[in-house]
Chain A
Amino acid sequence: MVKMTFVEASREALREMMQADETVWCVGEDLGRGSVFGQYLGLQDEFGPDRVADTPISEAAIMGAAFGAAMVGTRPVVEMRFSDFALCATDELVNQIAKARFMFGGQSRAPMVIRKPIGLWRSSAAQHSQSLESWYVHIPGLVVVCPATPQDNYSMMKAAIRCNDPVVYLEHKNIWGMEGEVDTSLEVELGKAAVRRQGADVTLVSWSDTANLCVQAAKTLAGQGVDAEVIDLRSLWPWDKDAVIASVRKTGRLVVAHESVAVGGFGAEVVATVVEQAGNALRGPVRRLGAPRSLVAYAPNLEDKMRVTEQMIVTAAKEAMGK
């Protein structure tokens, strides 16, 4: 076991994958200086400017060019800086990358990792704070992952680089400095959830940094006589229905929590699936937590209005329990 921060974990995984496979390369703005959050620090010195390529501020070209390079046999890791900026490359991701294999009748592959830092982070306001994971889950052809711990950011980065599908890789900006023990031999299969805490009374389903909040909430709930099980989905497409349904069959109670806007969010998909496939196991009201359908403000008190908090999760769990 090695102690690493969240940002160190994915950087180390990337370094090891670049050492092991010379077709892996990174492409994005300011990578030689480590990019915005230090995700690439030292990599250009180690691998050179061809494999850690500094680009113009051209999101569409970064995404499109990486796709072209993937089709001729390389494995690009694409940096978008902020998930919000990746919207400048939406045609490239949604119309081109996600569809090429199907449209071309299976002739092509796009083995790419597309990194899009997400989430609320210190008064970053409306164009640097979004979590749009549900958009990408809606696009056939894409794999969507949201690691929440250093271990998962290490193991899932490796899995994402090995994957032959395009992987939208969403790291939360609020947890770059989160420390944890990392087992570098541990492999995580994309599409498999992690049971972060076992419990018998209520199932808390979440992902990304909100999963960390759920772990905290479960500790609080334990002090109040509620034994919560926390499922961190980690991957949203594919997502681990089996783990969620097995847990709900055990607890009979379900709370889904995520940072993104509740309306049309992936939480709705989780709830609908549980109701369809295990509705008879539910013994209390289902609760779904997400942001109001409003915009992220700069002022800290207004920004806070968009947050799902530990206390909200505790309250929702108790409501699901009928307390």
Chain B
Amino acid sequence: MTTADHNTRRARDLLAMMERIRAFEEQACLAAERDKLVLGAIHPSIGQEAVAAGVMCNFNRDDILLSTHRGHGHTLAKGADPLAMMRELLGREGGCCGGKGGSMHIADFGVGMLGANGVVGANITIAAGAAHGLKLQGSDRIVVDIFGDGAINRGPFLEGVNWASVFDLPILFVCEDNQYSATTRTSSVTGGPGAAARAESLGLRATTVDGNDAEAVADVTAEITARIRAGGGPEMLHAITYRRTGHTSFDPAGYRPEGESEHEAKTNDPIARQRAVLAGMGLSADELDAVHTAAQSEMVQVLADAAATPFPADDMALQDVQDIGSPAQEAY
């Protein structure tokens, strides 16, 4: 395969993954708003797909991922089964977590995805620890920990990044900066120059990238992961993107300047940008549309199949709490 072929293939894979993430979340939002099938909150990452696709294409299935409440894209890109994920969003049997976690606690240990997290920033120390455990065991696997721009204002950011630095751990921290902390503009509540500078102050090499440019994210992550796999220690990637939806799918985001999201959608959509890259490589509009249509068909079917799955058995409420003193055996 020539370099040009390789580049085209990766570019097409990035587009396909972003289309699948977009389609999955569009179906999830429909399931929430139209069908009332998603009962709890979901936090879409629509407009941020280039970070998930571009970062994760540089990690192997047995590498470790920890993610956030806005983690559908990361999880899909790590290789999780979308049907198991959609079942989880609907609280159904056969969900990644048996319907017990929901959107905010999706995990798929089979693909090295050790959990989304409902607490902002909490995954940072845990991910550092996963890297610590791998290093103790002499493993050649590495860890990627993704968190948002809001997380850098929580204590675990300082403690976890410092920990990775002190113990020289094989981990990439990705600050997926969508510019909003829940419903507040992050820049209005953040002192100093932000994520990259904070990581550098703790001894990490930090790289900032246009998080809506899937090619750039994939390129820079490839360089970083090569250094980490070679024993170069932890690094930070600050990927600047934009959250097109509200904080949750139900949040109309009235706190945003009028037209901001629409402008981003029109001028800075990561999928449109990647289509342009592929068009430049010679792919036709029909070929690109086929990628879109395949993703849409897949996820429409995923939602239909998930909705046809039963809820978990009632006795699961007392299962998988603990071995000793389990509520399944213990009166209360």
Interface residues of A (CB under 8 A from B): 23, 25, 50-51, 53, 55-56, 58, 60-61, 63-74, 91-92, 95-96, 100-108, 140-143, 163-165, 190-191, 237-238
- Inter-subunit contact A142/B162 (CB<8 Å): no
The residue on B at minimum CB distance from A23 is B137
Complex CA–CA separation, A217 to B68 (angstroms): 54
The residue on A at minimum CB distance from B97 is A105
Give the number of chain B interface residues (Cβ < 8 Å). Answer: 50
Which residues from chain B contact A108 at a C-beta distance below 8 Å?
Answer: 107, 109, 114-115
Which residues from chain A contact B115 at a C-beta distance below 8 Å?
Answer: 100, 103-104, 108
- Inter-subunit contact A61/B160 (CB<8 Å): yes
Interface segment, one of B28-36, B287-295, B299-307, B320-328? B320-328
Nearest first, the 5 closest Cβ-Cβ pairs linking A and B are A68-B129, A64-B125, A65-B129, A69-B133, A238-B325
Q: Which of A103, A142, A190 has the most CB of B within 10 A?
A: A103
- Inter-subunit contact B324/A191 (CB<8 Å): yes
The residue on A at minimum CB distance from B126 is A68
Complex CA–CA separation, A284 to B83 (angstroms): 61
Which residues from chain A contact B131 at a C-beta distance below 8 Å?
Answer: 68
The residue on B at minimum CB distance from A71 is B114
The residue on A at minimum CB distance from B88 is A105
- Inter-subunit contact A58/B159 (CB<8 Å): yes
Complex CA–CA separation, A101 to B326 (angstroms): 12
Which residues from chain B contact A51 at a C-beta distance below 8 Å?
Answer: 136
B201 to chain A, nearest CB (A): 15
A223 to chain B, nearest CB (A): 38
B185 interface residue per 8 A CB criterion: no
Complex CA–CA separation, A95 to B101 (angstroms): 13
Which residues from chain B contact A64 at a C-beta distance below 8 Å?
Answer: 122, 124-126, 128-129, 156, 159-160
B43 interface residue per 8 A CB criterion: no
- Inter-subunit contact B133/A70 (CB<8 Å): yes
Which residues from chain A contact B101 at a C-beta distance below 8 Å?
Answer: 103-105
B173 interface residue per 8 A CB criterion: no
Complex CA–CA separation, A242 to B5 (angstroms): 71
- Inter-subunit contact A61/B96 (CB<8 Å): no
B119 interface residue per 8 A CB criterion: yes
- Inter-subunit contact B137/A165 (CB<8 Å): no
- Inter-subunit contact B321/A105 (CB<8 Å): no
Which of these, A23, A61, A95, contacts B119 with CB under 8 Å?
A: A95
- Inter-subunit contact B107/A68 (CB<8 Å): no
Given known A-B contacts A61-B159, A66-B129, A96 and B327 have beta carbons under 8 A apart: no
The interface bits of chain B over 177-218 (1 if a CB of A lies within 8 angstroms of the residue's CB, else 0) are 000000000000000000000000000000000000000000
A8 to chain B, nearest CB (A): 26
Pull 24 A–B residue pairs with CB atoms less than 8 Å apart, ordered by A: A56-B163, A63-B125, A64-B124, A65-B160, A66-B129, A67-B125, A68-B114, A68-B125, A68-B127, A68-B133, A72-B137, A95-B118, A96-B119, A100-B115, A101-B320, A103-B100, A103-B101, A104-B96, A104-B100, A105-B95, A105-B99, A105-B100, A163-B324, A191-B324
- Inter-subunit contact B129/A67 (CB<8 Å): yes
B309 interface residue per 8 A CB criterion: no
Which of these, A53, A68, A165, contacts B323 with CB under 8 Å?
A: A165
Which residues from chain A contact B320 at a C-beta distance below 8 Å?
Answer: 101-102, 105-106
Given known A-B contacts A91-B119, A140-B327, A238-B325, A65 and B100 have beta carbons under 8 A apart: no
B138 to chain A, nearest CB (A): 10
Which residues from chain A contact B156 at a C-beta distance below 8 Å?
Answer: 60-61, 64
- Inter-subunit contact B122/A74 (CB<8 Å): no
- Inter-subunit contact A65/B126 (CB<8 Å): yes
The interface bits of chain B over 75-115 (1 if a CB of A lies within 8 angstroms of the residue's CB, else 0) are 00000000000000000000111111100010111000011
B262 interface residue per 8 A CB criterion: no
Given known A-B contacts A72-B134, A103-B97, A105-B95, A163 and B129 have beta carbons under 8 A apart: no
